[in-house]
Amino acid sequence: MTETIGCDSTWHLAHSRPADLLDYFDPTRGFAGQINPLVSRFRDVQALCDGGESDAPLTHLRNALAFHLVKMSRWWGFDFCPRGLTDVRNPLFLSYVKAHAARVAEDESFFDLFTMQRHMHANDAGHILVLGRDGAVPALLYGLDGQRGFRFAFQTNGADIAWYRHSYSDFTSAWLAARTVGTPGAAACDTLPEHLAAEREHAWARTWHQRYFHRAGTRPVVQLYAEACAQRSVCQSSFGRAEFETIVNDLAFKIARTAFTRALTIADMIAEGGTGDMNLRVVDTIRQRARTFVATCVDPCRRPELDTLLDRTVAYRPRRCS
């Protein structure tokens, strides 16, 4: 079966489970490559439910996908408007999330921590919900405290858990800090300066990730692309460069998609953007980056149609008045 055939309820029940789409404890998988398929699958499953295929397994899957959209937003440290991201009214979307939480105790605990805190010492930074262990460093634990901050701790040989004193607004920041502090009994993964650079560059990247959950702003995408390229050029860590590589590729795809929607060439878009330090030689780079983004960060179910969009954008030649 190909990626574009059989995306009915049976296919989604087999291929759209959140556990197959997400790896919360490995930020190297990136933000866009996880959130884009998650949003895509939620929309597809929601459409099937709205179309009358609302049997219990499919409804449970829709609710689970809704919950993990909320969890992803909190994991990366953002609030978001469900209607703006999914076109589902906020109260209805929240009913999906609550229905899922009522069925899964672990997810209910996570949801409760960010809402009523019935299971926590409310707002107590010393009361911590254990999230799990780092798959690459088994001695490393992660948690969430009563003030909704991500924490980490090292536990070896069954010793008591000693949580690091600082908390972080998103998981990746805690993950990077844990590697800055170092893993007892093992060599540091990288140099301390690179770890510190990665923390700083991730803070830059968070302002770009936040745009995904808050679709606002009217700045031309070409200007945003130039700004992101400039930030990537000064990244000093491999983690920061990887984060910004995806951000730049995402914006390149948005340039191509906007050009297609408006029946323009990419060169037209660049000229219209009025970015002085960009010229027509970057057109091929933007095309390549757009294709890389589709190949690596888009739901496989969507790739054929988006590849076609890019083909048409590249081939488009507007008629000029003589």
Tell me the three-class secondary structure of 282-311, residue by residue: HHHHHHHHHHHHHHHHCCCCCHHHHHHHHH
Q: What is the 3-state secondary structure (H, E, C) of 6-39?
A: CCCHHHHHHHCCHHHHCCCCCHHHCCHHHHHHHH
The reported pLDDT for the residue numbered 3 is: 42
The reported pLDDT for the residue numbered 49 is: 93
List, for residues 83-127, the tens digit of each pLDDT value: 888 999 999 999 999 999 999 999 999 999 999 999 988 889 889
Q: Which two tokens stand for residue 294?
A: 């589709």
CA distances from 51 to 8, 58, 67, 162, 294 (A): 11, 12, 21, 51, 28
> What's the maximum distance between 2 C-alpha atoms anywhere in the chain?
80
Low-confidence ranges of the chain (pLDDT < 50): 1-5, 184-188, 321-322
The reported pLDDT for the residue numbered 5 is: 45
The reported pLDDT for the residue numbered 289 is: 97
The reported pLDDT for the residue numbered 216 is: 62
CA distance 52 to 90: 21
The reported pLDDT for the residue numbered 244 is: 97
180 CB-near residues (< 8 Å, 6+ apart)? 192, 195, 196, 199
High-pLDDT (> 70) share of the chain, %: 90
List, for residues 240-285, the tens digit of each pLDDT value: 999 999 999 999 999 999 999 999 888 888 888 766 556 667 888 9
The reported pLDDT for the residue numbered 27 is: 94
Q: Which two tokens stand for residue 85?
A: 């991201």
CA distance 156 to 186: 12
The reported pLDDT for the residue numbered 321 is: 47
Give, as one character, the DSSP assignment of residue 138: T
CA distance 169 to 31: 15
Phi and psi angles of residue 2, each rounded to the nearest 5 degrees, phi first: -85, 170
Q: What is the pTM of this model?
A: 0.90
